[in-house]
Each structure stands twice: as structure tokens, then as C-alpha cells.
Amino acid sequence: MSTQTPPTGTPHSTGALHDDDLAGVPVFDSVGDDWSDIAAEAARLGEERIVVNMGPQHPSTHGVLRLMLEIDGETVTEARAGIGYLHTGIEKTMEYRTWAQGVTLCTRMDYLAPLFQEGAYCLAVEKLLGVTDDVPERASVVRVLVMELNRISSHLVFLGTGGNEMGATTVMMLGFQAREDVLEILEMITGLRMNHGYIRPGGVSQDVPPDTTAFVRKKMKSVRGYLRGLEDLVLANPIVHLRMKETGYLSTAACMALGLTGPLLRATGLPYDVRKTEPYCGYETYDFDIPTATEADNYARMIVRLEEIYQSIRIVEQTCDRLDATTGAPVMVADKKIAWPAQISVAGDGQGQSPAHVKQILGTSMEALIHHFKLVTEGFRVPPGQVWQSIEHARGTMGVHLVSDGGTHPYRAHFRDPSFNNLQATSVMCEGGQVADVVVSIASIDPVLGGVDR
């Protein structure tokens, strides 16, 4: 069978090897540390026990998640998650940047849902400053709009990649096409598709462009169309049912014990949603439902997320009406000690400053120039104390713990990322199940490793 072995005698990857082919070829053994003990123990036990290291570079682990699976045949007997491969020290870096610059950093944590980090962080800073009630109504409406759009785009990635992991590339194509529509709206409003840096302490960085609401309504119609296509593909699909139903079961008690929130908890029948229990940004004034399911399996979580997209579209449509009614209203607090000095107007080259503001600070008012310079370089001071702000992230309850020492930088910023917490369910969901269910169960947690590792 060694017909494809090159004449030089070096082994070739395309041909099967015989022992005599290996003469003179160097052999590498794993040695060192306690490896020989492990090998000896495995030989002594003589079990059909295989430890599989899935990741940290594996297409179905949503990034750099490492799963350590102990497998007996096709059954997973032990599953552990290893994280930290994407740890970038964002929380530490925030302590050396101003409160306003913190937005730019925290938006990079969970990169599929950046606006939730921004929203939670800014709400926490405002609570520390004591200006929560001074944030203009239009700013809160814009925040709700972008956060709900972000929830839609994040859930669409869940549906798309979840389908892809089960081998359905069409589902992924449809999901990402629909997400593209949402990202176009976010690009129109914030200037960027991801890592927006748009929500700022005191409001949002700039007002929405004039024709936004018409564009949003048009795109929401298109997203609904894609959703219908996704439902047709997925909901009656026997493969989806076989792989997702009755796998990865998590009861309400398990969710409470493990602190699992968001779609995982709601799929067990408990309608817990921070938007209803501890409303922020005026969520109590919007008309929307909390979708739940009772099966508590992977399929139920997908259905809950699908329903949540429709509820988010409902909220988005309500924000459009409110934006039309408040055109021209301020989107930043009136306090000039906090408010970012300039509204940026985008020029033909895609960049730019507000010409009126530049004219004012450079041409007419020395004090305005000094104020601009001080606020941008020094930042504002935040009274000492600590706050906790929780919001309903696309993946569960996100919490921000901020401590101020009265300075221009956060003394400590801690983000309770829902993916970080929810990944703890890995072993509960996977142990005792099939290897193939691991991929589906991890997908149903929907972890984003940028948020997990921070």
C-alpha cells in the first residue's frame, strides 16, 4: 500500500504507512511533568476512556472556548470548559482611562452585542453621577432602539451559527443576511457596524440621521421576511427536532442555582426579564411581552430567542414612532460639565466635525475652547461611591459594578457578563449525553468569548 511513498523514503501523508516505512524516522513521545503518571494510570485502568480536547480552535465553539470532554464510547462522562484564551484585561485598562473613554473599551467585550455593554456602563456612570433623571427622553428612546436592534442581530447570529453547526449552511446564510439589514441600520445611526462607542455617559454621541425611522421600518419589514424563511427552514425540520428536542435539559432550579438568566431561564417557564423587573431607559412605557417556553431543552431556547426577535421588532417600531414625535429634541444631558462638547456631522469623506462647533471654539469663544479642551483631555469627575446596574443583555442579565474614588477614571469597573456565568452550565448540560449533543448544547448557551474572557 505504500505506492505513494516518494522515492526518497520520507513518509507521505497520502499513503498508509507500514512499519518498515518508518525506519529512521524520528519518533516523538510526550514526556515531562506528570504525563508518565497519567499514561500509566490510563493503561492500568484499561478503560475505553478517551479525553478529547475540543478547542480552543474549533469552529463550533464560538471562538476560543476549550472543552475538555471525557468520552466513553459516544457518551460524554465529564465535560469541563476552559476559558481565558481571549482575556485582554479590559477592566484593568479602564482604570487608566477617563469615564467617557470607558465606553470605547467596554464595547469590545461581547462583540456581538456591543451596545448592551455601552448601555449598562453608561447607566451605571449616570447613577454614580446622579443624573439618571436628567438624561433626555429622546436619548433613552435612541438607546432602546439601538439595544433592541442589537438584540435582534445577536439572536440572528445565534440562529445562523446554530444552524451551521448542525450542518445547515442555508440557515446561516439567511441569518447573516437578515443580520446585515440590522447592521446597516446600526451603521447609519452610529457610523460603525460593531464596537460603536455610541452610547455615552449622559446620552448618546449624536442624534440619529433625519431619515432613520423610514429606513428602520423598511429594514424591519425585510427582517420579518428573512425570519419567515428561517422558520420555514427550521421549525418543521426533522433533523432540527431530533438534535435539539430533549437535549441539554436545564430545569428552573438548575438555572437559579447556576445563576443562568436570559433565554436559558425563560425556556424553563420563568418570565424573568430585567426590562420588566428593574426597568431602565423607560422600558416600562413600552408594550412588549416576555416569551417563555416550558420544555427547557435546546429547542425551547431557540424558540424563545425567535420569539424575542419579534418582541424586539415590536419595541423598535414603537421607538420609531417616538423618534418621529421628538424630532430635534436633545440627546445629551444639558449639564455642560458632562456633555461631550460637539455633535459630529459626517462630511462627504465619512469623517468630520461639526463646522458650527469648530467655528464657535476657534473663532468666537476662548472659554468654549478651554472648556472643550478640559472636558476632552481631563474628563469629568464622578462623586465617590459604588453602584450596580443590571440590564437585560441578549444573553441574560448583564451587571456592571462601578466604583469611583471621585476622580476622572473609574477606580474599579467590573462586568458580570452573562456568557461568562452561563458557560458554567456546560457540564450540567453535556454530561451523560451524546458527543454530538455537546455542540448543540453549547450553541444554545450562545456564548461569546470576547465577553466571557474580557
Partner 1 sequence: MTTSEDKTPARGQAVVRAEAGEHPLLEIVDIRHGMFGPSGTGDTSGYGGLVTTVVLPGPSERPYGGWFDEVVDVLAEVMDEDGPGFAQAVEYVVVDRGELTLHVAAEHLVTVCQALRDDPDLRFELSLGVSGVHYPADEHRELHAVYHLVSVTHGRQLRLEVAVDDADRHIPSTTSVYPTNDWHERETFDFFGIVFDGHPGLSRIHMPDDWAGHPQRKDYPLNGIPVEFKGATVPPPDERRAYR
Q: Is 399 in the site for partner 1 (CB under 8 A)?
A: yes
Choose which of 18, 87, 217, 228 interacts with partner 1 (CB under 8 A).
87
CB 245 within 8 A of CB 298: yes
Query: Which of these ranges, 41-49, 238-246, 338-346, 377-385, lies near partner 1 under the rule CB under 8 A?
Result: 377-385
Q: Is 97 in the site for partner 1 (CB under 8 A)?
A: yes
Query: What does each C-alpha distance from 205 to 248, 312, 332, 356 come to in angstroms?
Result: 42, 23, 8, 16
Query: Which of these ranges, 12-20, 259-267, 349-357, 431-439, lies near partner 1 under the rule CB under 8 A?
Result: 259-267
Q: Is 385 in the site for partner 1 (CB under 8 A)?
A: yes
Q: Minimum Å distance from CB 315 to partner 1?
A: 21
CB 80 within 8 A of CB 164: no
Peptide bond into 56 cis (omega under 30): yes
Q: Is 401 in the site for partner 1 (CB under 8 A)?
A: yes
Binding to partner 1 by CB under 8 A, coded x per residue (else -) over 273-302, reads ----xx------------------------
Q: Is 268 in the site for partner 1 (CB under 8 A)?
A: no
Choose which of 403, 431, 434, 435 interacts with partner 1 (CB under 8 A).
403
Q: Which residue has the cell 446596574?
A: 389
Choose which of 99, 116, 176, 272 interacts with partner 1 (CB under 8 A).
272
Query: Which of these ranges, 61-69, 154-162, 167-175, 397-405, lies near partner 1 under the rule CB under 8 A?
Result: 397-405
- H-only helix segments in 211-325: 212-234, 238-244, 252-257, 263-266, 274-277, 298-325
Give the DSSP H or E segment for 438. helix 435-445
**What's the angle, vertex CA 141, arms to CA 178 and CA 192, rounded to 5?**
45
Could you tell me how many residues of this chain bind partner 1 (CB under 8 A)? 50
Q: Is 411 in the site for partner 1 (CB under 8 A)?
A: yes
Choose which of 376, 405, 432, 436 interacts with partner 1 (CB under 8 A).
405
Sheet holding 66-72, edge to edge: 49-54, 66-72, 75-82
Q: Minimum Å distance from CB 238 to partner 1?
A: 36
SS3 annotation, 328-366: CCCCECCCCCCCCCCCCCCCCCCCCCCHHHHHHHHHHCH
Q: Minimum Å distance from CB 84 to partner 1?
A: 4
Q: Is 420 in the site for partner 1 (CB under 8 A)?
A: yes
Nearest to 323 by CA among 214, 451, 242: 214
| 153 vs 426 by CB, closer to partner 1 | 426
Nearest to 286 by CA among 95, 144, 449: 144
Query: Which of these ranges, 19-27, 34-42, 58-66, 421-429, lies near partner 1 under the rule CB under 8 A?
Result: 421-429
Query: What does each C-alpha distance from 125 to 111, 147, 194, 277, 418 come to in angstroms?
Result: 21, 18, 22, 21, 20
> Applying CB under 8 A, which residues contact partner 1?
83-84, 87, 89, 91-93, 96-97, 127-128, 130, 256-261, 270, 272, 277-278, 377-379, 384-388, 390, 397, 399, 401, 403, 405-409, 411-412, 414, 416, 420-421, 423-424, 453-454
